[in-house]
Amino acid sequence: MTTKRILVVDNEQYIQEVAKICLETVAGWEVETASSGQEGIIKAEAYQPDAILLDVMMPAMDGIATFEKLQGNPVTKAIPVILLTAKIQASDRRRYAEMGMISAIAKPFNPLELADQVAVALGWSLEK
């Protein structure tokens, strides 16, 4: 079984670190991080992750604009995106799904449940 590769795009260093440690420890996945939407797009092209965890609220280019750029790029269009967001009402979930996002995970998230939430959203098993 090949190791899944995840790109975490969040402007908060703490969130990047917690997500990286949890996904690597709990799921055994490879995790790359980016601190901005622009950096996330560049890393998504180069790294070709199996999925992207994308923060909604970021300065300069927010998660929605970043997602739209990823979707507009043939190199990154097929990469599934899961939003990390503090705003997660039913209307937001519907809008995100209509845009083509796989799922949304509420922030703050439980670090021990993050890998499970990602695996469930993507239909992956967590066997190691």
- Determine what percent of the chain is predicted with pLDDT higher than 70: 97
Q: Flag whether pLDDT at 77 surpasses 90.
A: yes
Residues 5, 3: Cα–Cα separation, whole Å: 6
Fold of 5-122: Rossmann fold (3.40.50)
Sketch the domain layout of the chain as residue ranges: 5-122
Confidence of residue 14 (pLDDT cuts 50, 70, 90): very high
Q: What pLDDT does residue 96 have?
A: 80
Label residue 127 by pLDDT band (50, 70, 90).
low
**Residue 124 token pair:** 């992956």
Rounded to two decimals, the pTM is: 0.93
> What CA–CA distances, in Å, run from 96 to 53, 61, 75, 112?
13, 17, 21, 24
Nearest Cα residue to 111 out of 42, 1, 31 = 31
